[in-house]
Amino acid sequence: MPAPPVVRLAVVDDHPLFVRGLELLLPATTDGRAEVVGSTGDASAAASLVGRCLPDLALVDLHMPPPGGIRAVAAIRRTTPRVRVVAMSGAEDPAPALEALRAGAEAFLPKTAEPEELLPPLLAVLDGWAVLPGHLLRALLRPGRAAPVDLDDEERAMLRAIAAGRSTVEIAERMHVSERTVKRMTAALLRKLRVSTRAEAAALAGHAGLLGD
């Protein structure tokens, strides 16, 4: 069987030891399935770095000197929208993580995670999943956001599937459509809900009581 593809990562983080640790440990702990192909400690250079090395994923530390990690996330999403962004932080405060999700991050991972624990969530993000720690998901599900309105049965089914964390392939199989159609329907649903990520869509589904339907 062919070898699984290598996940190529760009790291935006102003802590050299953390970056160097990822460069050394990720290939070793993932049997060569993940590697760092570029890094910068300057948030203002994040978009240009990602544009040059075109990784599969960009890992962005949220607590960086100005212009900061949130703006780095937004700049990457604006200039290279096909690159998925994973926000990271060593702090417990969920507020910056929520801001990062609204800026276009696909996931959030704590910097306390061990390198050998990173590959499964990174692969899940590449497959279209929103990956969030439990405390952050609970923060997203707090009341205060408007509930989804005027959704037809197909859109409600799509929203429930997204909230359940189903992959594009799984949704396509369940709805008996192509993966391309699922991606198009997902993009249209996010626009209708006025959110930018699957994580925010899942939060709206929970707020509207759709998770148990």
What is the distance between the alpha carbons of residues 162 and 204, in angstroms, rounded to a whole number? 11
- Each residue of 150-196: pLDDT tens digit? 678 888 888 888 877 788 888 989 888 899 999 999 888 888 887 77
- Does domain 153-207 fall under CATH 1.10.10.10? My reply is yes
Residue 204 pLDDT > 80, yes or no?
Answer: no
* Identical fold, 7-140 and 153-207: no
Where does 7-140 sit in CATH, by number? 3.40.50.2300
- pLDDT of 5 reads 81
The arithmetic mean of pLDDT across residues 137-150, rounded, is: 57
- pLDDT of 66 reads 93
What is the distance between the alpha carbons of residues 50 and 56, in angstroms, rounded to a whole number? 9
- Which residues lie below 8 Å from residue 55, measured CB to CB, with a gap of 6+? 8, 9, 10, 37, 38, 83
Residue 50 falls in which region: left (phi positive, over 0), alpha (psi -120 to 50) or beta: alpha
* pTM of model > 0.75: no
Residue 148 pLDDT > 50, yes or no?
Answer: no
Domain ranges of the chain: 7-140, 153-207
Banded model confidence at residue 91, pLDDT cuts 50, 70, 90:
confident
Comparing 74-88, 141-155, 171-185, the range with the smallest average pLDDT is 141-155
